Amino acid sequence: MKSSLQFKLGQRLNLSPQLRQAIDLLLLPALELQQKIQTVLECNPLLELDEESSEILESFENENLHDPNFYYNNRPTTSNQFDTKTAKTASPHTLKDHLLWQMQLTSLTEKDKAIATIIIDSINEDAYLENSLEEIHLSLQNDRELKNVDLAEIQTVLNHIQQFEPLSVDARNLGESQKTEYIVPDVIVRNKNKQLVVKLYMDLIPKLKINSNYAYLTMGAGAQDTQYLSNQFKEARWFLKCLERRHEMLLKISSCIVDQQLMFFEEGEKSLKPLNLQDIADKVELHKSSVSRILANKYIDTPKGLFALKYFLGNAVETTSGGKYTAKAIQAIIKQMITEEKATKPFSDHRIVGLLLEKGIKITRRTVTKYREVMGIPSSLERKRS
């Protein structure tokens, strides 16, 4: 009886090649999916490029909103920053443009933005930081408004830049050139007529169709050839079905996330709502494991910047007022407090605990310290200016 049960369990875990392929496709981000499609295209003669539908994505002003790849959120945004100009400039052409664009969307002070601009100017198109912080600090001595900036403040600004996408700068040795990494989005969000539009980014994804010539040949081929072509036809049809299913699930889940986090796109990180895999699974009527696979290694390009889809997930932190915040939202609130503090009398972590409590957020001083360090913000002693 026991061995029989183990055998049955073993059978359940032995996935068919077709099911394994379907699951693997869910996991692939845009670049890897492109490579996978190219490999399948080269191996299966029953597949060919669909040249008629492989045009490059046009600007959103000319998009047809009835396209099945669209999700149209009919709840209006109220923020002035979500206008047509934002949509037009949301895809900068160079790395520096992309970083500067994201910088303008942050809550940095004008002085910190000036410092950030100088740091970004030191990053070349090969994605290397060419100058050390000491060299950048020295260059500021000739600037009347920035000559009193110290190294700690420059590092704080650099820490903000390190949170930008598509960079992932290793800050363990700031004196060396630091390699950065490019990322391609899987989903794009734009504002159209004060409403958020979600669409899959399909520029890199080849569109395929069944090769009708080969399909026709199956009827006149010999038995051996017929069997081979028949198998290839079944595999081609299954692959196209899996691709379509992947795209449908990715759009559905991404649209759900955008809908749940609308306030983030208006007010920023401080308004991120608690959201977990099960919440999304319940809303889109999919299994939690499928949602997890779809979110893995996927990125979404929004008017607020480029983010991992998993960035929008976070568990709730209960408050004394009964409200719920995510850890990211609390970090954003702490960051705003520090941004608005007096330079001559910065808030200690203990004082921040008190200010948060006034908002109904009860966390320990140790947690405040951890959040501050995660954001790369120096202690109050290091932030103090005479």
Structural domains for the chain: 84-161 (no CATH), 317-383 (1.10.10.60)
By percentage, how much of the chain surpasses pLDDT 90?
27
Q: Can you tell me the distance from the alpha carbon of 47 to that of 239, in angstroms, rounded to the nearest whole number?
A: 10
Q: Dihedral (C-alpha) 87, 88, 94, 98: value to the nearest 10 degrees? A: -30
Q: Can you tell me the distance from the alpha carbon of 111 to that of 313, in angstroms, rounded to the nearest whole number?
A: 32
pTM comes to 0.63
Query: Is residue 366's pLDDT more than 70?
Result: yes
Q: How does residue 219 score in pLDDT terms, banded at 50, 70 and 90?
A: low
Q: Amino acid identity of 154?
A: I
Helix/strand/coil for 14: coil
Q: How does residue 21 score in pLDDT terms, banded at 50, 70 and 90?
A: confident
Helix/strand/coil for 58: coil
Q: Can you tell me the distance from the alpha carbon of 241 to that of 143, in angstroms, rounded to the nearest whole number?
A: 60
Write down the pLDDT at residue 52: 63
Q: Can you tell me the distance from the alpha carbon of 361 to that of 320, in angstroms, rounded to the nearest whole number?
A: 6
DSSP string of 279-300?
HHHHHHT--HHHHHHHHTT-EE
Cα dihedral across residues 83, 88, 91, 94: positive or negative:
negative
Q: Each residue of 137-181: pLDDT tens digit?
A: 888 888 888 888 877 778 778 777 776 665 444 333 333 333 334
- The residue behind tokens 């992309």 is 98
Query: Is residue 11's pLDDT more than 50?
Result: no
Which whole number is the average pLDDT over 111-120?
A: 88
Looking at residue 195, the DSSP 8-state letter turns out to be E
For β-strands 195-200 and 70-72, DSSP reports them as antiparallel
